[in-house]
Structure 1
Amino acid sequence: MKLLRSIYNSWRRNAFRTLITDDYRSWKGFELQVASWHIAKQLKTDKPHVAVLLPTSGMFPASMTAIWSQGKTVVPLNYLLSPDEITYIIEDSGVDTVIAVTPMIEMIGGLPEGVETLLLDKMSFKGMPPVRSSVKSDEEMLAALLYTSGTSGKPKGVMLTAGNLHSNVEQCKQWAEFSKKDIFLGLLPQFHSFGFTVNTLVPCAMGARAVYTARFNPRKVLELLRTHKATALLAIPSMFNALLNAKSATASDFESIRFAVSGGEGLPDAVYLGCKEKLQLEINEGYGLTETSPVSNWCRPAEHRRGSVGMPIVDVHERIVGEDGADLPANEDGEIRISGPNIMRGYYKLPEETKNAFDDQGYFRTGDMGHLDDDGFLHITGRIKEMLIIGGENVFPREIEEVLTNHPDVLAAGVVGRQDDSRGEVAVAFVELKEGAEFDEMALRSWCRESIATFKVPKTITLLQELPRNPTGKIVRRALAELVQKDITQ
């Protein structure tokens, strides 16, 4: 397994250099290596998969490499899920051992009966235990089983091979010109595909430093930036927005950043421009899915193209496909389909869904709409399943949300559809306001009319104290649709 060898070699080459700093301690290379060996020695399970329930920290890569060294698959657990959801993932993946710390077990209310826990806070990492590594140089080995939150139904286990992950690590390093001189500020949880690959595997594999915090807090993040002078800041729009609105944030806090990337969803103009003007921080956008390991597109550090998520990274190929399955020319919207060495093997125990996820040319069907411009840069329009059809016209929620979030009083917005007798469907919006702002539905609808066609203007705009978000801060439109079903906007 090339990736495991890269990480272990990196830790050995940087044995006495601090590689990771988290909320609990700092880790030198040899400390990570020794911790990995100790954890591997304690793994007694005969099952092929081992789950990890840990806060974002140095304990995660130590556990992950321990699992790989024994030829097993890591299953990161999202500790923000409900007990029933965690139980489902444990049962579906077939794990009988969870590597964890006591506070995390207590936080989720315990684990299902019969599941063993390996508690790292109860272990001693002293000494050098002899550990036999059973891992072979097999790039087809199933390295990770990452469960998607899913837009409907149960979470699906995305099977990522050692080759998938190693390819994406190398792609990211080359495309973003990362080196061991970089200092990553890891804000996304490591159970999330972006936090897993970009904020954990990439720095570990090349000996770069990583600074982690388990809970996103703007004030804490600013302190970490001032103390550690991070060079790479990879986050989601809501995090950048929170940093922009932090009262103590100044441009000097971000002067060490050479590469700031936003992903997960579209970056609103107000956030992009605010960060550029107030913080002197130029944010690039990227794109990818759990199924793509996850990065498929990035604007490079010196490539600032507003509104685009960048060109496909090295060895990734993309098609924009129409409803008839034919390739579309530049600047025409269609489904984004992707191929490359970073594309998943498939969905765990779901052969039919795996088959349907790929077209007859072997390209992964993303379910996202977008287009490539004349220079080959990708622009995202929205999710196919979330597209509204208003009076026969295709409308994407993202366009309306962008207009609403550009309003000076609006912190965040979410848009979904509602059935309508005359138009077939209409847009309804939900907003979360900035502190001290007053809600005025008519004023917000008037604001929308200035920027978008009348038929796209939300029929209703409802104020929520907090919009529903997933663990990484992304607005969950499915939850908003459920509110519509309950007729709260009537």
Structure 2
Amino acid sequence: MTENFWTDKYPEGIAAEIDPDQYPNVQAVLKLSCQRFADKPAFTNLGKTITYGQLYEQSGHFAAYLQQHTDLQPGDRIAVQLPNVLQYPVVVFGALRAGLVVVNTNPLYTAREMEHQFNDSGAKALICLANMAHLAEQVVPKTGVTTVIVTEVGDMLPPLKRLLVNAVVKYVKKMVPAYNLPSAIKLTDALSQGRGKPVSEANPAAHEVAVLQYTGGTTGVAKGAMLTHRNLIANMLQCRELMGSNLNEGNEILVAPLPLYHIYAFTFHCMAMMHCGNHNLLITNPRDLPTMVKDLSKFQFSGFVGLNTLFVALSNNEGFQKLDFSKLKVTLSGGMALQQAAAERWKQVTGCAICEGYGLTETSPVASVNPITNIQLGTIGIPAPSTLFKVIDDQGNDLALGETGELCIKGPQVMKGYWQRQDATDEVIDANGWFKTGDIGIIQPDGYIRIVDRKKDMILVSGFNVYPNELEEVLVALPGVLQCAAIGVPDDRSGESIKVFVVVKPGMTLTKEQVLQHMHDNLTGYKRPKQVEFRESLPTTNVGKILRRELRDEELKKLGKK
């Protein structure tokens, strides 16, 4: 299959190539967009909207604070541990303008997970929500973090509403455990200190790292994918091109329920939609469906970016079914496989078909998408512009169209490599720039790609990667555990859920409740098992490696799916 194979596979209106060198860095895109769309709404959350002009102004205040009131230098890493609130884009773009590298961090991480990520990235600064500050109190002394900034949910709201929202969160809902971080500064104070101060605008080269985005690995240790300015700009332009003429500049309202700290939402809402001056509705807690539906009822949104789990939940919600979908013209799905039943139900409720895409943290993340004008359900669409796919066998040989093998991707959005892990980088990116995905797939003669299976043992829970080795490392630390294994089992709600198998040490006892409590204490929500099964032994190879595949096959047989 030649590189020219893809050129005629793009529908009319979508170019086969983009220019990843159109802008020197993310800062240049931000500045241009905020000037072009200064009066257009950029982000809305909790009833407050900020324009692109205000985003640039406030991110400038934050950048000035970092430059003039801290010891941070260009290239230093800042961990951003925030949900979808207005503070997120202000802080992220401010940090980039100050020349810092953003380390996106899940605000639901446990202390153990935070400690690993902060130490591995070498983060020198942390900005977190007050709700998680008690964990920061435990973790920061064990890391190189010297600057801590704390924000409350309502900090970007008008004064009276800010007071009310923060009081409700803290005293009524009791969602802010007590913490003691004497050296921390409030974000509101940091913005005040930076206001009116000049910013020395960073001007990094295209190949320099903009974001460290952590992803799991087959070793179970989270690795930082180095996403450069060029990677993010390329994927931003690819996303825009794939939208074709369906999304107009400065006139669209996009729903953003997926967390911005996840690369899928980050690239789409903070990059692609920023580039075309569109309006993003930030949903802080998509699990709170009644509040989400109430927020959506105030807008005639034209785009929705979600994943299978959320589509199912909303389609079955009576309040959501009554919303006005007359302007909805684009629904994008990624992060996990889209089930056909979910896609059909969503279209029935909203009148809008879902375009499924595919990507990985290592590809910034969008690698392929179903064009809006030509959707093939059950496929992940065609490659993004300037992107090539191929399929290889176990020996690395290229396979023909229609043959099943490991998917490999080449394009300007493929990461620079894993942070401080050259060996791991060399395992997945070859000398010619091809990235091995670990996913098994087929390229059809029409250029559409179909995922068949996963080569890795990765478990996919509601769009989040979960790696069995990490779970097993945590579980084996529980006294009484002799052997253990973690697998993914089919789950109608989350795609997959986690089941663990435990062999107890002779003479000791262990209960299901003890296992679940231990996992709860050491792992964030989506990594926690739903099922525990005790066994006298686990299937192994002749050298003692536990056969997770055999355990998965047994579970599928029980469910009648094999």
Q: If the TM-score is normalised by the length of the shorter chain, which range does it land in?
A: 0.7 to 0.9
Check if 1:116 corresponds to 2:139: no
Aligned ranges for residues 89-238 of structure 1 at < 5 Å?
A: 89-106=117-134, 111-113=139-141, 115-120=146-151, 121=155, 122=186, 123-124=188-189, 125=191, 128-136=195-203, 138-150=205-217, 152-177=219-244, 178=247, 179-216=249-286, 217-238=288-309
Report the CA distance between 1:109 and its aligned residue: 5.9
Letter in 2 for 1:164: N
Amino acid at match of 2:57: V
For the structure 1 residues 371 and 54, does the alpha-carbon distance in structure 2 shift closer, same or farther, using more than 3 Å as the test? same
Q: Which residue of 2 aligns with 1:80?
A: 108
Per the alignment, in what secondary structure is the counterpart of residue 112 of structure 1?
A: helix
Q: Which residue of 2 aligns with 1:451?
A: none
Alignment of 1:456-475 (within 5 A): none
Task: Verify the 8 A CA contact 2:133 2:150 in the aligned structure 1.
Answer: no
Quote how far apart the aligned CAs of 1:432 are.
5.5
CA distance in 2, matches of 1:171, 1:484: 48
The residue that corresponds to 1:36 in the other structure is 59
Q: CA deviation at 1:67?
A: 1.4
Q: Distance in 2 between matches of 1:334 and 1:309?
A: 16
1:56-455 matches, within 5 Å, as: 56-106=84-134, 111-113=139-141, 115-120=146-151, 121=155, 122=186, 123-124=188-189, 125=191, 128-136=195-203, 138-150=205-217, 152-177=219-244, 178=247, 179-216=249-286, 217-250=288-321, 252-386=323-457, 430=489
Equivalent residue of 2:430, what SS?
Answer: coil
Q: Which residue of 2 aligns with 1:26?
A: 49
The 3-state SS of whatever aligns with 1:228 is coil
Structure 1 CA distance for aligned equivalents of residues 492 and 304 of structure 2: 26
Aligned mates of 1:472, 1:370 — CA distance in 2: 30
The answer (yes or no) to whether the contact 2:27–2:203 under 8 Å persists in 1 is no
- CA distance, structure 2, for counterparts of residue 100 and residue 12 of structure 1: 29
In 1, the alpha carbon distance for the partners of 2:100 and 2:304 equals 31
CA distance in 1, matches of 2:368, 2:213: 20
Q: Which moved more, 1:309-318 or 1:267-276?
A: 267-276
Q: TM-score, normalised by structure 1?
A: 0.78
Which residue identity does 2:305 align to in structure 1?
Answer: L
- Provide Cα deviations, 1:449-490, integer angstroms capped at 9, x if missing partner: xxxxxxxxxxxxxxxx9xx99x999x76x9579757788989
Aligned partners of 1:6 and 1:206 also within 8 Å: no
Choose from 34, 42, 51 the match for 1:11.
Answer: 34
C-alpha spacing 1:472/1:252, structure 2 compared with 1 (3 Å): farther
The verdict on how the C-alpha distance between 1:50 and 1:200 changes in structure 2, with shifts beyond 3 A counting, is: same
Deviation of 1:302 (Å): 1.5
Deviations 1:293-318 (A, max 9, x none): 00010112212211111100100011
Count of aligned pairs between the two proteins: 421
C-alpha separation in 2, matches of 1:254 and 1:357: 42
Residue by residue over 1:17-58, the C-alpha shift from the partner in whole angstroms, topping out at 9 and shown as x without a partner, is 322101262112232122111111221223611111222122
Contact 1:249/1:279 (8 A) holds in 2: no
Cα distance change on mapping 1:432 and 1:170 into 2, 3 Å: closer
Q: Residue 347 of structure 2 aligns to a residue in which SS?
A: helix
Please tell me the residue identity of whatever aligns with 1:99: I
CA deviation after TM superposition for structure 1 residue 191, in Å:
1.1
Look up the equivalent residue of 1:174 and give its one-letter code: E
Q: CA deviation at 1:62?
A: 1.4
For the structure 1 residues 483 and 37, does the alpha-carbon distance in structure 2 shift closer, same or farther, using more than 3 Å as the test? farther
* Cα gap change, 1:333 to 1:140, in 2 (>3 Å): same
One-letter identity of the residue aligned with 2:147: E
Shift of 1:202: 1.6
Q: Which has the higher mean CA deviation after the structures are superposed, 323-332 or 295-304?
A: 323-332
2:450 and 2:64 mapped to 1: Cα distance?
48
Structure 1 residues 118-127 or 71-80, which shifts more? 118-127
**1:263, 1:320 → 2: CA distance?**
21
Task: Output the CA distance in 2 between the equivalents of 1:40 and 1:188.
Answer: 26
SS of 1:37's equivalent? helix
Counterpart among 77, 83, 86 of residue 55 in structure 1 = 83
Which residue type is aligned with residue 64 of structure 1?
A: V
**1:152 CA drift (Å):** 4.3
Q: Deviations over 1:49-76 (max 9, x none)?
A: 1111222122212111211112221111
Contact 2:110 2:135 in 1 (8 A): no
Q: Tell which has more relative contact order, 1 or 2 (C-alpha 8 A, sep 6+).
A: 2
TM-score, structure 2 as length reference: 0.68
Give, as a single letter, the amino acid of the residue that structure 2 aligns with 1:196: F
Contact kept, 8 Å, 1:147 with 1:155, in 2: the verdict is yes
Call closer, same or farther: CA 1:218–1:281 in 2, change over 3 Å: farther
SS class of match (2:290): helix
Q: Post-superposition shift, 1:246?
A: 1.0
- Check 1:159–1:432 CA distance in 2 against 1; reply closer, same or farther (3 A cut): closer
- What's the offset of the Cα at 1:130? 3.1
SS of corresponding position for 1:139: coil
Is the contact between residue 302 and residue 328 of structure 2 (CA under 8 Å) also seen in structure 1?
Answer: yes
Q: Distance in 2 between matches of 1:18 and 1:59?
A: 15
Is the Cα–Cα contact under 8 Å of residues 328 and 334 in structure 1 kept in the other structure? yes
**Helix, strand or coil at the partner of 2:371:** coil
SS of residue paired to 1:248: helix
Which amino acid in structure 2 is aligned with residue 159 of structure 1? M
User: Cα–Cα, structure 1 residues 29 and 430, in superposed 2: closer, same or farther, change >3 Å?
Assistant: closer
Shift of 1:433: 7.2
**For the residues of structure 2 that align with 1:484 and 1:259, how far apart are their CA atoms?**
46
